[in-house]
Amino acid sequence: MSALESFIPSLVPEAQAQGLEVEPVEAFVLACIDGQSTVGQLASALGMAPTQLWQVTDRLARRGLLQLSSPQRDTFDAPPKEPGHAPQGSLEQAHVSGVRPVLEGRPPAAQAAELQGAEALELELRRAIVELYQRLDELDHYQLLGVEDGASKAEVKAAYYEAVKRYHPDRYYGKELGHFKAKLERVFQRFTEAHDTLTRKRSREEYDAYLTTLRRNRRTEVLLSHPAPDPAALRALRERLAAESLPPPPVAPRTSPEPPRPAAPPSHPAPAPPPPASQPPLDLKARRQALARRLGGSDALRRASIPPPPAAPRVSPEQATDALRRHFEGQQAARLQRQLGELERQVSDALQRDDPATALRTLRLLAQLKPEDPALEQRLAAVQHATDVKLADGLLVQADYEERNQRYAEAARSFERAARGKPSVKAFHHAALCLLKTAAPDYRQAARLARCAVELAPNDAELRLTLGRIFLEAGLLQSAEQELQRAAALAPQSEDIKLWLTRLRRS
Amino acid sequence: MDRVIGIDLGTTNSCVAVMDGDEAVVIPNRGGYKTTPSIVAVTEAGKRLVGHIAKRQSITNAENTVAAAKRLIGRKWNTAPVKSALMTCSYGIVEGPHGDVRIQLRDKTYSVPEISSMVLQEMRVVAEDYLGEAVSKAVVTVPAYFNDNQRQATKDAGAIAGLDIIRIINEPTAAALCYGFGKGVDKTIAVYDLGGGTFDVSILEIGAHGVFKVIGTTGDTFLGGEDFDARIIDWLVAGFQDEHQIDIRKDRMALQRLRDAAEKAKCELSSVRETEINLPFIVSTGRNEALHLQRSLSRETLERLCEDLIERTVDICRQALVEAKLDADEIEDVLLVGGMTRMPAVQRAVTEFFQREPNRGVHPDEVVALGAAIQGAALVDDKHEMILLDVTPHALGIMTFGSYFEELIPQNTTVPTSRAKIFTTSRDHQTAVKILVMQGESKQAGDNELLGEFVLTGLRSAPKGQVEIEVTFEINTDGIVSVHAKDLETQQAQSIQVTASSGLTTDEVQSMIEGAKEYMVERRTDEEFEGAKQSAETLLAELEAMLPEVDRVVGGADFGRDAVTKARQVIERTQAAMDRRDTAALKEQLEQLARTQRMFKGVVARGG
Ligand SMILES: Nc1ncnc2c1ncn2[C@@H]1O[C@H](COP(=O)(O)OP(=O)(O)OP(=O)(O)O)[C@@H](O)[C@H]1O
Ligand SMILES: [Mg+2]
């Protein structure tokens, strides 16, 4: 990605634009700046070439009307594996190697007190242990081991063996380890879990599928909860538009009403090639000046190559300005139209692929460009619903994995959310069951979920049994009795139900 | 840095090794043997014998000789293995005060850990003699399939022997350590360990960098060479019964002779195709007529008799692969460990199952002790870069309402590890819960091994199911299991370390340690005395034999009479010192005796 495009323009709060001379295009750009979108994103949203927009923002910045902040590695910067697919604001891409989990750039999380108690270990090791220990739940297996998502079995093993040699308590046998012993054991256990999951074919497939689903679900959830245009989509759009290589817009007002000349002659230098993204954006000023010089140069070049305008009938300056605006607006409209068509196509493509999340994202973009279109609003609602349903399916897959791995609190949440998007007996029932297995379950919620399941399948004895059990555990004996009796009536042979009935009688 | 010895405490034989530089070496005992029979006996004089001496007198003193005590260690009285031992053992087994097993030898009962401690102590002495220094730390091996009670009992045996067992490791794992240590091996291997009493199969991954990771382990703690011997004994007994209508098993001495002969025949048939079993005068009929047992046994017959035993080991191998989620062809090497793997039929079965020739590079009797020594050195010495990751061979959990077993830590989980689960009360207004810590694979709690129990009190009085108790199991790096229970509402907590359920209380272990210490001192002086006594007896016998002759030659002369009288005094004083068991006095008399003997010899020579 070009570094120029990733600068984020924002308004300078104290600057007064009123009373200053601004051109219409400048005013338009100023009005659209939200302080979040990058130059690239704005360019695609406004239907301008990024270079053109950059020029405008640069000009405004030099006049002190806006400021350009340097690009950050922001949340939509996708992990290397799956461009544009990382969940927003979560899963940090920090590469925590099993060997050196010291996280550069992070404030030292370990408090001084926590680092005491095992002076026989080097401070750096103690710090690494404490930090790793604190982050165990937040790292996925790959991050923990410090390997790529697609790492081979041998790579996983090598990373694991390294970690073992550093974190197994036996390495420090006979040394006073204090509270570090338990921490090392816990860290080791987590490494082993990661290794065991990733080195067995079946469990790795399951885990990978889970991780993909989890990431997709999180992304969709974010999408559904923030109706702002999705930056990743904006970027994709921008790239496509940039590929069309739009002709540069006129740089100075001309008095000719004629249509603009065709594209620049071959001698015209192409827009500056984007500097490598890895280059630190510190030389902002220098680059800006270079750009200005180049643009100035090209201007001169063009002026030199353009023949003088033929003598034209005199027109008043008002007329000329009007014509210019009309021309500019007409051009803008045409481009917008083309874009709308493109976006429309993307929406139907996505829907055809059964990818409502992408469709939703694109529709939102469309809605931005075409506000207050009732038909569009309707479609938006429909696609939003489709996304909900799709997310529900994803959440069900995620929940299954979580339940199988006895992560009941997470599973209960996933099942419950799945049921919200797409009510089903299974989702409601398992949400209730998992909830029961968590620490201090919310019985009211469990009962509500189980009741939903019962409503969907009133003749399923198992559901009634679950509901009865919840009542019993919550101490609502009468309701429990009622449900268990119904369950018994539906399935008179069930040993399970009989067992619970006897338990009920005894309470 | 303390030296750590490695001890393979076997059912039949024990072996001790130590790290010598970068290499582990087996320490031979005083007789020059690299293994020592795990046999303990008490003589008529109350003397304890261990090892080869004990084995030698096992026929004449069958009732007071304990072999294969390992089959009983850490077991409860009313279990099948103990019942079966009761039927076949030549020594007395009685119930102990905690439902445990005690062994009756002459007028004393011993706990099983005490018997094992005598073997451990012997191995320790072997090492001390060799190293010329005191040894106090050891890594001791147990069958991988041993449960926690058996492990704990083994630890108690170490404590009684005055040994600090710094780690208990599994026998097949130890074998793998010896196989892969310092050799840059990077392989998935299987260890097939068929010893005298137990069978284990372990699957391990040996990684470069010296990480040994056990993937899975299975076994049978009551399957080994003893069972093969029993088949031969049955066959001999049945044959004898047919011929003479006499059950020779009834006679303890005969049974012991049968046992010896059976084992000998079994071992011989590993190298020859046919062998003679010859036991003259095995029983008397009571009509003053003695009967002999004489039969020949062929390898084919032996293999037929033991076919199902071998098949059982193969089934267990299959199970091990399933649990490790591997196919036989993913195993890159197979180690054969234990004396029984010398049997050709066993080797054939293993080759066929794993579809590869087993590794011949390890010594089946020594690898385990060597591996234990390696682990010991790796723990105390940073120089050896080796980490062993073993698994828990049995599931751990608690008993829940209705006598069900609720598993918390599954079988074959890499340790250290911990797991938690939430439980609730099963009765209304229940203010205490009893946590029964169990180990095993059965869904029925009763079929599993009880490791310990404790009570969590002070729960809120509420309808059943309302109070939440979180139970956490933890196995630390040293293999110690601890269990915590916490009332999630009041945060009231209670926990135990599962350490004291080997059938002995801490006090008992303490008093046994004291007893063993005294015995150590007693034994050392005893040996000295016994040695002196033996020399004295030899000299005395010679002197007595020469006396009449000396008398005849010099009896007439005055000086001669004096000499004879003096000699008589020396003999009397020696006798007295022997009776008093006075080692110092006896040693003094020994010199006198030796002088007298030299003089007598001279007289006899001249006079003759
Ligand atoms: N050549 C042989 N052929 C067959 N069996 C043999 C041979 N040599 C030894 N054995 C048997 O091997 C067994 C002893 O093996 P080993 O010394 O490995 O057992 P252990 O370590 O004492 O027992 P465990 O490991 O079960 O506690 C005995 O049953 C013995 O009869
Ligand atoms: Mg053995």
Mean pLDDT, residues B579-585:
82
Chain A: residue whose CA lies nearest to B462: A475
Mean pLDDT, residues B383-412:
92
Rounded distance, CA B193 to CA B200, Å?
5
Q: How far is B416 from chain A (nearest CA, A)?
A: 6
Query: Considering CB atoms only, which of B209, B388, B463 is closest to A475?
Result: B463
Q: In this prediction, what percent of chain B has a pLDDT beyond 90?
A: 56
* Closest residue by CA, ligand 1 atom 10: B339
- The token duo for B115 is 């018997």
Query: By C-alpha distance, which of B495, B608, B497 is closest to B546?
Result: B608
Rounded distance, CA A422 to CA A445, Å?
18
The answer to whether the CB of B338 is under 6 A from ligand 1 is yes
- Give the pLDDT of residue B102: 95
The answer to whether the CB atoms of A474 and B209 lie below 8 A apart is no
The answer to whether the CB atoms of A170 and B379 lie below 8 A apart is yes
The answer to whether the CB of B13 is under 6 A from ligand 1 is yes
From the CA of B72, how far away is ligand 1's center (Å)? 17
Q: How far is CA A19 from CA A55, A252, B303, in A?
A: 22, 21, 108
Q: How far is A202 from chain B (nearest CA, A)?
A: 10
Rounded distance, CA B171 to CA B168, Å?
9
Chain A: residue whose CA lies nearest to B427: A507
Residue range B225-307 in CATH 3.90.640.10: yes
Q: Count CB-CB contacts under 10 A for residue B180.
A: 24
Domains of chain A plus CATH, in order, are 2-225 (1.10.287.110), 229-244+322-405 (no CATH), 408-506 (1.25.40.10)
- Give the pLDDT of residue B395: 95
Q: How far is CA B301 from CA A144, B247, B311, B341, in A?
A: 58, 22, 16, 18
Query: Considering CB atoms only, which of A165, A181, A440 is closest to B209?
Result: A165
Q: Is B278 on the interface with A (CB under 8 A)?
A: no
Rounded distance, CA B492 to CA A478, Å?
31
- Give the ipTM: 0.81
The answer to whether the CB of B196 is under 6 A from ligand 1 is yes
Q: Structural domain boundaries of chain B?
A: 4-224+309-389, 225-307, 394-498, 506-607
Ligand 1 atom at shortest distance from the alpha carbon of B368: 21
Helix and strand numbers, DSSP H then E, in chain A: 19, 2
The answer to whether the CB of B371 is under 6 A from ligand 1 is no
Rounded distance, CA A57 to CA A34, Å?
13
- Give the pLDDT of residue A225: 72
* Closest residue by CA, ligand 1 atom 1: B267
* Stretch (H or E) spanning A481: helix A477-490
Ligand 1 atom at shortest distance from the alpha carbon of B197: 26
* Closest residue by CA, ligand 1 atom 28: B196
Q: How far is B425 from chain A (nearest CA, A)?
A: 10
The answer to whether the CB of B347 is under 6 A from ligand 1 is no
- Give the pLDDT of residue A70: 64
Q: Is B389 on the interface with A (CB under 8 A)?
A: yes
Q: How far is CA B449 from CA A397, B147, B224, B442, B502, in A?
A: 38, 8, 22, 10, 11
Chosen from A183, A192, A476, A495 to mutate, greatest number of chain B CBs within 10 A: A192
In the predicted structure, residue B331 carries a pLDDT above the cut 70? yes
Rounded distance, CA B277 to CA B274, Å?
10
Q: Is B488 on the interface with A (CB under 8 A)?
A: yes
In the predicted structure, residue B402 carries a pLDDT above the cut 60? yes
Ligand 1 atom at shortest distance from the alpha carbon of B13: 22
Q: How far is A192 from chain B (nearest CA, A)?
A: 8
- Give the pLDDT of residue A30: 74
Residue window 466-505, chain A: list those with CB within 8 Å of chain B.
472-475, 477, 499, 503
- Give the pLDDT of residue A240: 59
Rounded distance, CA B88 to CA B259, Å?
10
Q: In terms of DSSP bridges, do strands B433-439 and B449-456 run parallel, antiparallel, or are they unpaired?
A: antiparallel
- Give the pLDDT of residue A95: 30
CATH topology of domain B4-224+309-389: Nucleotidyltransferase; domain 5 (3.30.420)
From the CA of B272, how far away is ligand 1's center (Å)? 17
Provide CATH code, domain B506-607.
1.20.140
Residue range B394-498 in CATH 3.40.1440.10: no
The answer to whether the CB atoms of A170 and B208 lie below 8 A apart is no
Q: How far is CA B332 from CA A224, B128, B187, B189, B386, in A?
A: 52, 39, 6, 6, 21
Q: How far is A278 from chain B (nearest CA, A)?
A: 36
Q: Let me know: does A250 contact A302? Beta carbons within 8 Å.
A: no
Q: Let me know: does A95 contact A311? Beta carbons within 8 Å.
A: no
- Residue B262 Ramachandran class (φ > 0 left, ψ -120 to 50 alpha, else beta): alpha
- Give the pLDDT of residue A271: 44
- Give the pLDDT of residue A85: 34
Q: Let me know: does A267 contact A70? Beta carbons within 8 Å.
A: no
Q: Let me know: does B397 contact B166? Beta carbons within 8 Å.
A: no
Q: Is B457 on the interface with A (CB under 8 A)?
A: no
In the predicted structure, residue B504 carries a pLDDT above the cut 80? no
The answer to whether the CB atoms of A474 and B211 lie below 8 A apart is no
Please report, as a single letter, which amino acid is at residue A193. Answer: E
CA pseudo-torsion sign A181, A183, A188, A193: positive
Q: Let me know: does B547 contact B564? Beta carbons within 8 Å.
A: yes
Q: Is A173 on the interface with B (CB under 8 A)?
A: yes
The answer to whether the CB of B340 is under 6 A from ligand 1 is yes
Q: Is B323 on the interface with A (CB under 8 A)?
A: no
Three-state secondary structure along B123-170? HHHHHHHHHCCCCCEEEEEECCCCCHHHHHHHHHHHHHCCCEEEEEEE
Mean pLDDT, residues B267-284:
92
Q: Is B462 on the interface with A (CB under 8 A)?
A: yes
The answer to whether the CB atoms of A473 and B424 lie below 8 A apart is yes
- The token duo for B501 is 């359920």
pLDDT per residue as tens digits for the range B44-71: 888 889 999 899 888 888 899 999 999 9
Q: How far is CA A365 from CA A237, A330, A430, B446, in A?
A: 10, 21, 37, 66
The answer to whether the CB of B342 is under 6 A from ligand 1 is yes
Residue window 248-277, chain B: list those with CB within 8 Å of chain A.
none
Answer whether the bond into residue B416 is a cis peptide, omega within 30°.
yes
Q: Let me know: does A494 contact A488? Beta carbons within 8 Å.
A: yes
The answer to whether the CB of B365 is under 6 A from ligand 1 is yes
The answer to whether the CB atoms of A168 and B387 lie below 8 A apart is yes
Q: Is B428 on the interface with A (CB under 8 A)?
A: yes
- Give the pLDDT of residue A281: 44
- The token duo for A355 is 């990818």
Mean pLDDT of all residues in chain B? 89
Chain A: residue whose CA lies nearest to B326: A200
Q: Catalogue the active-site residues of B.
A: 8, 70, 171, 193
Residues 6 or more apart in contact with residue B376 via CB below 8 angstroms: B4, B5, B6, B19, B137, B138, B139, B166, B167
Walk along chain A (507 residues) and give the pLDDT tens digit of each residue.
445 677 777 776 555 544 456 666 776 677 667 777 777 777 766 667 777 777 788 777 776 677 777 654 333 333 333 333 333 322 222 233 333 333 333 444 456 677 887 778 888 899 999 999 998 888 999 999 999 999 999 999 999 999 999 999 999 998 989 999 999 999 999 999 999 999 988 899 999 999 999 888 888 887 777 655 555 655 665 565 555 544 444 344 334 444 444 444 444 444 444 444 444 444 555 555 554 454 444 443 333 344 444 555 566 778 878 888 888 778 777 877 887 888 888 888 888 888 888 888 888 888 877 777 888 888 888 888 888 888 898 899 999 998 888 888 889 999 998 998 888 999 999 999 999 887 778 888 999 999 999 999 999 999 999 999 899 888 888 999 999 999 999 999 888 888 888 878 877
Q: Let me know: does B182 contact B378? Beta carbons within 8 Å.
A: no
Q: Is A154 on the interface with B (CB under 8 A)?
A: no
- The token duo for A328 is 């500019």
If one compares B301 and A294, the residue with the highest pLDDT of the two is B301
